Structure 1
Amino acid sequence: MFLSFSLYLDLTVLLALVLQAGAVPHPIVKRSNSDLSLTAQLRLADTAIERYKLLPNDSDFVFNFTGTEEIPVATSQNWPALVGVGAAISMSQLPACSMSFLHLHPRATELFALNSGHILSEMVPQAGVLDSNNSQRVIRTDLRPGQVTIYPAGSFHTQVNPECEPANFTAAFTSDEFAVSLVAEQLFSFSDGIVARTFGQSIAGEDIEKVRNAIPSSMAIKVDECLAKCGTEKRYKNAIGLVKAFRFTSHHLKPYSSMKGHTLAVLAFISHAIASGNTSSMGILGHNGVDLGTWRAAYERASKFVDKLNITQKVSIVTGGGATVDGETFPGMDFNDGSMGLLEYYYVSAFSQSSALSMTWDKDAVTAQARAVAREFYQKGVQVVFGPTSQPLGRTAWGGRAGETFGPDPFLNGIITAETVKAYTEEGVVSQAKHFLLNEQETNRTNNNIAGFDSTSDSEKRNFLGPYSANADDKTLHELYLWPFYDAVKSGLGSVMCAMNKVNGTNSCENYSLLMGHLKDELGFPGLVYPDVSAQHAGLASAAGGLDYGSSTYWSESAITAMVKNDSLPMQRLNDMAIRNVIPYYQLNLDNGKQPATVGEADYVDVRANHSRLIREVGTKSIVLLKNKRSALPLQKPRIMGVFGANAGAAMAGPNYAYNPITGSGPTYDGHLATGTGSGQASFPLLVTPMAALTFRALQDGTMLRWILNDTYTSSETSALGAGTGVVPGYVNYAQDSDVCLVFINALSGEGGDRTELYNANQDTMVKTVADNCNNTIVVVNTMGPRLVDQWIEHENVTAVLYSSLLGQESGNSILDVLYGEVNPSARLTYTIAKNESDYNVRVCDTTECDFTEGVYIDYRYFDAYNVTPRFEFGYGLSYTNFTYTDLNVPSIEALSVYPSGKKSVGGPMDLWDVIANVTVSVTNTGGRAGAEIPQLYVSYPDSAKQPVRQLRGFERVELARREKSMVTFPIRRRDVSYWDVEAQQWAVKGGEYTFSAGASSRDLRLSKTITIRTE
């Protein structure tokens, strides 16, 4: 019986992919006969008549399958005439004695017509459709040439060719994005423990025989009969064509003898389980084997409450409303942006951007700001913060939203994300981490998104190609992008925002493996999934795929009721959706009646308290000192100071506008840049600009100030009413007449568009012009992402550089405090500043298929692996004092199991978080003034683990007086020495030598020690 299934999935190449190839990502098949620009124009056409005008040739209405062996599927992407038709078609063949993979099409019904040969087909329409024996109905058909069968959307089906010659068929789909979900592939994306639980037993060792005995007879026997009749030589002929048709992979098929028996048995058992009507509880809260821990009580309350509700009330909850039953009320929750403070409200504070906060490398500062933000939300009656924004992680330096996030290192990002979540939770506000997942650019994130954040007209910028699909392999997904979400979930995350983009071909907000699998089952996430704006595209697909909160446009009462009645949406899943909406409300005790009522945006409820002091302090901790020659800083009461650049002064329309009402938006901002755009924007009650702060300080010190608050003004042609002091206004004149020159520059980007440049010619010319005429030129940079400085950094008269992100309402005061030495700078870069744009390995993707071929090698991981010398490395930052490192101690670590064995819990396996060692190092302040150092710990894995050269695994901020010495401790968790084992689908420890290095940055490593970690 077992051997009869050995050919079950030959054609899917699943074993070649999962077992032999180590589950490498599916290469994206190149579309032939495709003209994306024409497709975009067709999608924009208002009428069918206009579309016909764009297709002037009769040949435009013919698709030639001949010679299209690579992709025998016609869609709107490779046949523009299909735009607006809502259909796709394939012509292919099922080779002799072969069987197609067990699969479904989540978004389309398939009409399958046999042209020649013989096909046996099986189809399970849906759970709940029963036969006369009250068992799950399986529809079996015996197709001959000229006959057609139908596979409704979402039905599981497969075909077998029991003859010695290929069977030719035509398949038509009711959508040009029909998609394919492979049952076996999806299951084996999960860990062995999850697979075992699905079967109710182990699938390894002696238990294999139990699985084999459970395999029923099926039509797969026809394959063995066919092979006996025809011989085996035809099994593989042309097989890869069908696989490519569904955008799978082109790995070579493995010979019969290489198939792994126990896996084939399991795959066959999957078919039996589905045909028998056994459904999985994957991702269903309370039924998926996750130990809820501190969430248990809230789950039980939410579950009991939801059990009493009717469908109308459940629909109300999952679409943003509330419900009352038996005197108990869930009122619904209010959601709002964002991490810089309440957006579009009066009498609130404007805090530092997330990227600035991460540059502090200070957990206490992160906690303090997050608590303050949460208190303002709570006191305004808002329950959910759209934040923290863990991602975009920072795959590309051109990403428009880098300023909103915590940086491209998953460890640093994860720690800061976790601290933010904990702080929000402790203040009684639900955190909503975003964006899940692979939302690494703005270009083509929707069908109507700009391609660049500059002053180009919208008609020139819009590509209309989206939403793009971010395609990443399993290792990259786990070791980079899922990593911070592990931290967030472990720390009490209540909500997740799914992204606008697709992930590996499926919309994020209906991506079953992503939401129900990775997030809710693997990470044990107990909260709700909420869609980003316009990220929900369907009703049933999103509900079944893992979305918990959606639009009534898709989830009307009638629509949900129909789904439940026809069993396309199980009641268990609808209950799960409602429970997940309610559970954070109970977890944070928001039903205790203590939170003030929600107020209007302009109502006079002042919640700012003394947060301005905190914002100023956090701002000073966020400013990186990149250069300080000839002790240029701190300033010592200069007599004459020249101030240059628009970034020093106020914007024309005030701080609550991200653009100039006259000139529009561009890659730089015509005023002091202290907040972002879109959801990364703050509501400013006021803004202290550098010019305002400097004016007040000059008044105290008796300093004479001259300024030109413009990036392109060079000089005045006439003195007009007189120059006052006899110096005609201009860069050159003011620079020559000043003791110190401060040049302020910025780089703007944000939600809705990516960056078009990493340096600005006008601003760089201004810097060089001033430096050519002022021997003490200090540059101050405020930027949303990496900003190159090589155009002037080595200029002998550029004596100092301060570099930061966006610092909120106290920005000018924070900059002033560092300039004058009221605060000793301690911030560190959270990304790499390259010498040239070409030094970065990833650009913005301008198509709808964005392949993350760089894998885990982004930012410093790439620079290290490929020996690219940066201008300033990850973790870099100077101080007004000096520090030394001594006494690195790395204790021996007891032998570890290869895989964690702890119970599945909120945040993943419990023992993944076990502290296995405490590494220590001593830091001494050897300079002449008090300051703070950020010692960093990096780990290098054994070569056999195939990991980056080094990875951040610890950091602390330590304040030290002159000559003071302190020992810093880095707790090392099992997780910190693990990598993602793609084949085992678990976090694994590779036995071998691990090197621990401590220092001031990723390339300034002062001490190292190597130990051996044994595995058992």
Structure 2
Amino acid sequence: MRSFASAALLAATTALAQDSQDFSNRGNFGSPFPNTTYNEYVNDNPVVAAGSNGHQMSPPKYPSPWTEGLGDWKEAYDQAREFVGQLTLEEKVNLTTGTGWQVDRCVGQTGSIPRLGFRAMCLQDSPLGIRYADLVSAFASGVNLAATWDRGLAFAQGAGMGSEHKGKGVDFQLGPVAGPLGRTPEGGRNWEGFSPDPVLTGQLFAQTIRGIQSQNVMTNLKHYIAYEQEHFRQVPEANGFGYNITEPSSSNLDDVTMHELYLWPFADGIRAGAASVMCSYNQINGSQACQNSYTLNYLLKGELGFQGPVITDWLGGHSGVSSVHAGLDMLMPGDSDSYNNGYSYFGSNLTIAVLNGTVPAWRVDDMAMRIMAAYYKVDADTNRTDINFSSWTKDTYNYEHYYVGQGWTKVNDHVNVRADHGALIRHIGSASTVLLKNVNNTLPLSGKEPLTTVFGEDAGPSPHGPNGCDDHGCDDGTLAMGWGSGTADFPYLVTPDTAIQNTVLQNGGSYESIFDNYDLDTIGALARRSNASIVFANSDAGETFIQVDGNLGDRNNLTFWQGADDMVATVAGNCSNTILVVHSVGPVLLEEYKNNPNITAILWAGLPGQESGNSIADILYGRVNPGAKLPWTIGKKREDWGTDILYNDNDDAGVPQINYKEGNIIDYRAFDLHNKTPTYEFGFGLSYTTFEYSDLKVENLNASAYVPFMGHTTAAPTFRNFSMDPADHTFPANFTRVNLYHYPWLNSTNLTEASGDPNYGSSDFFPEGALNGSAQPVPKAGGAPGGNPSIYDVLYRVHATIQNTGSVVGDEVPQLYLSRGGPYDPVKELRGFERLSIAPNMTARVSFDITRRDIASWSTVEQDWYVQNTTKHVWVGSSSRNLPLSGVLA
């Protein structure tokens, strides 16, 4: 198969990129080709143009690399080898196979190994808490963590979530999220992740991983890779909504974009020691993500040196033998192409595949090794807790095997794992609230205003209660998290109405609120009497299996929900001191509100979790000085982003083609390139104090030259011989089966009969190299978890001084951007940030390390990183468009 573009074209592209270019005269960070339209610029990029077309083919890469204990995985590898060396074939298969949907207590559960006293592994959502459990916390969403720009808070939230998962007996937390990255602002699950910028996402992703795993819980990085929209992600789901597709959508993108944008944060996560990776529902360049040998074998396990297991998203597997060769290690929840159908691609079929030679024994050994190495990597055997909850019922007693009604027992111990996490969640909520507008110091309020009024359904409680809608699949009342599998039950939800009213009453003021967005006459009459009108509006999104108000996961628009636009206009038309608070999953169009003179302040509060109201009241009344920054751009109109959701099937064959023609030019990069002035730029956020920047210095550390990795793996190890006689792998005598449970044993000594598939194992076709267990060359960009260690060498250190010139202590986030200077590079890219707390009239000195990766580009010909011979400019400031300090890397 051919790669992303023809060899001749790629060679020409690389030669062009390596020419010395100087685009230093880019006034106001505009396009290097100011007379060229955005689409022309992107389509003139040879790599992007050739590598983002429909129906292109992902190149085959075999065999699947085996774990070797690279980097700091050595001790875990040694422990795993000792454990796996004791296992039978069936016990290894048990580790790789989910037992079935709703057949055990967790959303995903592997088989156990009773002979060694090893209980089943529990895999449980979500990236912001524990889904389907009581007495747990509802943490802030990923997008709120991104708005803090605070690595310490990311670690703290990760540790809090990890401790709760451990307390419930969970082994794998299904999170955090770097896919979707945020290619389109309408993307339904963007809020589960962090930011469309790969550096901001990568840094907070890594710290969240470290936090979770500090509690002996394995992370599961989601969703790998180029999973950027909900529409068309699964065939049955899309068919159920009236779309006649035959395969999941294909995300078609070039090699440079893959490396410089979408793969970047996953490299950070793997370098941070992430235990496992979840492959996504979509196809990448025409190949299913969970059996894409290029993205799994070559990129993930080869280039990035990933040592843990690849786990399917639920029902994300599409085959058995093919996916095993392509790098899949665990099938979840064990069912094949639909829940509770009684069939599995793994389980007994994987046992058969080993016995009939279609899967080599070393590959199953590697699958088991990866799973157990991940387990030992986080010291999961330390004080391991029994699974003490059921995902399917809050009752104390019910069926152990819920779906099939077998095994009546105590299934919920109702263990309270919340500790004091409410205080942390409240702090993150206020630390992630972005002050966008504040005319004449409207905020903070004193709390002593004669009459404070609050308006909007988003300020109050849902009539169904905080957990009244399954997986939060509705938009009733205040919005504190999106919908879908990335959610958790609220132990309580502090509404803005409650928190603001409490503050006002404590200060002796008067207070009234209206939650009905459509009662405009009453709203207008109350607003006319008000001294401070605080109006709440939201915009929701989530996962496609739930449709909310006609939105199939992805948002249909970037405007407010619940009829809030007319409500906001009514309040602002009647009160000259109107404060707008936005709860949203991502950008909403705010241009008219920014320009409305009666709207004196605007706050973006995101999805802050259970302490939502307290967090926003802390900001409104000055108990906390806002220091958050936007993790994405807010544009004037939807078209300004240059990308959008594919809402309708565009392929006659029923395989929707999503062509990433924009390459790595998304979010603020697109606004820069196209000379679009945003309403509020990426990285923007105000404070109740002011800051000044000065004294930029660039220090060249004279690091050693880049060294491409040269070397081979060992030969694939195997750990225990076993009988090849099918009679030795049938069910044990007198074994009692659970209905629909996926077991590793055979029900017949006839392998074809045992598989239930008359064609199973009959093909003699194998991809070239798939069965080859000999030593294999390691990619030049590989060599360690996260990639070639040389790419992380620090080449420069940039210093700057920030002074608090106001009267109150405040947090500032200085940001470093640079230009790599090539003809197809973004105008500027974030490469460093730091959140600082500075007292009045005091200064802080900040330093940014610039690594080789920060200034490197990807060569499609060499399949390695290289540094272009260009002038590289660097800027430091408070947002992507306010960069008062500049210099050159020399």
TM-score of the aligned structures, taking structure 2 as reference length: 0.79
In structure 1, distance between residues paired with 2:137 and 2:347? 40
Residue from 489, 492, 496 that aligns with 2:270: 489
Contact map agreement 1:349 1:684 (CA 8 A) in 2: yes
- Paired position in structure 1 for 2:234: 446
Per-residue Cα deviation, 1:824-847 (whole angstroms, up to 9, x for no partner): 000000000000112121111133
- Paired position in structure 1 for 2:759: none
Residue from 964, 977, 998 that aligns with 2:842: 964
Residue from 196, 203, 209 that aligns with 1:408: 196
- Paired position in structure 2 for 1:207: none
Partner SS, residue 590 of structure 1: coil
1:136-175 alignment, distance < 5 Å: none
Relative to structure 1, the CA distance from residue 1011 to residue 384 in structure 2 (aligned partners, 3 Å threshold; closer, same or farther) is: same
- Paired position in structure 1 for 2:496: 690
1:475-624 alignment, distance < 5 Å: 475-550=256-331, 551=334, 553-595=343-385, 597-600=387-390, 602=394, 603-624=413-434
Per-residue Cα deviation, 1:259-278 (whole angstroms, up to 9, x for no partner): xxxxxxxxxxxxxxxxxxxx
Per-residue Cα deviation, 1:22-77 (whole angstroms, up to 9, x for no partner): 5936567779xxxxxxxxxxxxxxxxxxxxxxxxxxxxxxxxxxxxxxxxxxxxxx
Residue from 430, 439, 449 that aligns with 2:218: 430
The letter for the 2-side match of 1:433 is L
1:991-1010 alignment, distance < 5 Å: 991-1010=869-888
Residue from 654, 660, 669 that aligns with 1:852: 660
The letter for the 2-side match of 1:285 is T
Displacement after TM superposition at 1:905 (Å): 0.7
Relative to structure 1, the CA distance from residue 1005 to residue 447 in structure 2 (aligned partners, 3 Å threshold; closer, same or farther) is: same
The letter for the 2-side match of 1:423 is G
Is 1:990 aligned to 2:868, yes or no? yes
1:788-799 alignment, distance < 5 Å: 788-799=589-600
In structure 2, distance between residues paired with 1:404 and 1:660? 14
In structure 2, distance between residues paired with 1:442 and 1:490? 28
Relative to structure 1, the CA distance from residue 867 to residue 557 in structure 2 (aligned partners, 3 Å threshold; closer, same or farther) is: closer
Displacement after TM superposition at 1:701 (Å): 1.3
Displacement after TM superposition at 1:591 (Å): 2.2
Partner SS, residue 80 of structure 2: helix
- Paired position in structure 2 for 1:397: 185
Displacement after TM superposition at 1:887 (Å): 1.0
Choose 462-471 or 841-850, whichever is displaced more.
Answer: 462-471
Displacement after TM superposition at 1:568 (Å): 2.1
Partner SS, residue 887 of structure 2: strand
Contact map agreement 1:525 1:906 (CA 8 A) in 2: yes
Q: 5+ residue gaps in structure 2?
A: 15-45, 99-109, 336-342, 395-412, 545-552, 650-655, 711-781
- Paired position in structure 2 for 1:756: 556
1:46-125 alignment, distance < 5 Å: none
Displacement after TM superposition at 1:439 (Å): 0.5
The letter for the 1-side match of 2:187 is G
Choose 990-999 or 848-857, whichever is displaced more.
Answer: 990-999
Residue from 527, 541, 556 that aligns with 1:735: 527
Partner SS, residue 592 of structure 2: coil
Relative to structure 1, the CA distance from residue 449 to residue 843 in structure 2 (aligned partners, 3 Å threshold; closer, same or farther) is: farther
In structure 2, distance between residues paired with 1:393 and 1:703? 44
In structure 2, distance between residues paired with 1:1000 and 1:308? 57
Relative to structure 1, the CA distance from residue 578 to residue 11 in structure 2 (aligned partners, 3 Å threshold; closer, same or farther) is: closer
Contact map agreement 2:51 2:254 (CA 8 A) in 1: no
In structure 2, distance between residues paired with 1:897 and 1:626? 44
In structure 1, distance between residues paired with 2:12 and 2:876? 38
The letter for the 1-side match of 2:491 is P
Partner SS, residue 435 of structure 1: strand
Partner SS, residue 630 of structure 1: helix
Displacement after TM superposition at 1:16 (Å): 3.3
| Aligned residue-pair number | 730
Q: Which has the larger radius of gyration?
A: 1
Displacement after TM superposition at 1:21 (Å): 5.7
- Paired position in structure 2 for 1:146: none
1:270-349 alignment, distance < 5 Å: 282-286=64-68, 292-320=70-98, 321-322=110-111, 324=113, 328-349=116-137
Contact map agreement 1:388 1:432 (CA 8 A) in 2: yes
In structure 2, distance between residues paired with 1:544 and 1:594? 32
Per-residue Cα deviation, 1:98-133 (whole angstroms, up to 9, x for no partner): xxxxxxxxxxxxxxxxxxxxxxxxxxxxxxxxxxxx
Displacement after TM superposition at 1:18 (Å): 5.0
Per-residue Cα deviation, 1:787-842 (whole angstroms, up to 9, x for no partner): 11123221111000011210111000000000000000000000000001121211
Displacement after TM superposition at 1:558 (Å): 4.0
Relative to structure 1, the CA distance from residue 995 to residue 595 in structure 2 (aligned partners, 3 Å threshold; closer, same or farther) is: same
Residue from 668, 672, 677 that aligns with 2:478: 672
- Paired position in structure 2 for 1:973: 851
Per-residue Cα deviation, 1:904-957 (whole angstroms, up to 9, x for no partner): 11111111122222211111000011110000000111235x311111111000
Per-residue Cα deviation, 1:844-898 (whole angstroms, up to 9, x for no partner): 1133111111100000011111111111000000000000011111112427636
Relative to structure 1, the CA distance from residue 691 to residue 836 in structure 2 (aligned partners, 3 Å threshold; closer, same or farther) is: same
Relative to structure 1, the CA distance from residue 13 to residue 670 in structure 2 (aligned partners, 3 Å threshold; closer, same or farther) is: closer
Residue from 606, 617, 621 that aligns with 1:816: 617
Relative to structure 1, the CA distance from residue 463 to residue 713 in structure 2 (aligned partners, 3 Å threshold; closer, same or farther) is: farther
In structure 2, distance between residues paired with 1:10 and 1:650? 56
In structure 2, distance between residues paired with 1:462 and 1:700? 55
Contact map agreement 1:900 1:988 (CA 8 A) in 2: no
Is 1:829 aligned to 2:829, yes or no? no
Residue from 871, 876, 897 that aligns with 2:705: 897
- Paired position in structure 1 for 2:539: 747
- Paired position in structure 1 for 2:825: 947
Q: 5+ residue gaps in structure 1?
A: 1-8, 32-178, 188-279, 452-457, 716-729
Partner SS, residue 680 of structure 1: coil
Is 1:16 aligned to 2:8, yes or no? yes
- Paired position in structure 2 for 1:649: 460
Partner SS, residue 872 of structure 2: strand
In structure 1, distance between residues paired with 2:255 and 2:52? 15
Contact map agreement 1:442 1:449 (CA 8 A) in 2: no
Contact map agreement 1:898 1:990 (CA 8 A) in 2: no
In structure 2, distance between residues paired with 1:1009 and 1:13? 36
The letter for the 2-side match of 1:885 is Y
1:694-713 alignment, distance < 5 Å: 694-713=500-519
Contact map agreement 2:54 2:658 (CA 8 A) in 1: no
In structure 1, distance between residues paired with 2:388 and 2:659? 44
Relative to structure 1, the CA distance from residue 659 to residue 339 in structure 2 (aligned partners, 3 Å threshold; closer, same or farther) is: closer
Relative to structure 1, the CA distance from residue 465 to residue 558 in structure 2 (aligned partners, 3 Å threshold; closer, same or farther) is: closer
Contact map agreement 2:53 2:253 (CA 8 A) in 1: no
In structure 1, distance between residues paired with 2:795 and 2:5? 40
1:625-644 alignment, distance < 5 Å: 625-636=435-446, 637-644=448-455
The letter for the 1-side match of 2:47 is V
Displacement after TM superposition at 1:659 (Å): 7.8
* CA RMSD in angstroms, aligned pairs only: 2.4
**Higher normalized contact order (CA 8 Å, seq sep 6+, divided by chain length):** 2
Residue from 678, 681, 696 that aligns with 2:487: 681
Partner SS, residue 572 of structure 2: helix
Displacement after TM superposition at 1:390 (Å): 1.1
Partner SS, residue 449 of structure 1: helix
- Paired position in structure 2 for 1:937: 816
Is 1:908 aligned to 2:760, yes or no? no
Contact map agreement 1:764 1:792 (CA 8 A) in 2: no
The letter for the 1-side match of 2:888 is T
Relative to structure 1, the CA distance from residue 15 to residue 776 in structure 2 (aligned partners, 3 Å threshold; closer, same or farther) is: closer
Displacement after TM superposition at 1:331 (Å): 2.8
Residue from 559, 568, 577 that aligns with 1:776: 577
Choose 422-431 or 433-442, whichever is displaced more.
Answer: 422-431
In structure 1, distance between residues paired with 2:605 and 2:2? 55
Per-residue Cα deviation, 1:726-780 (whole angstroms, up to 9, x for no partner): xxxx122101100010110000111112100101383122111111110100000
Contact map agreement 1:900 1:912 (CA 8 A) in 2: no
Contact map agreement 1:390 1:405 (CA 8 A) in 2: yes
Displacement after TM superposition at 1:600 (Å): 4.0
What's the % identity of the aligned pairs?
39
In structure 1, distance between residues paired with 2:254 and 2:349? 35
The letter for the 1-side match of 2:836 is V
Contact map agreement 2:439 2:601 (CA 8 A) in 1: yes
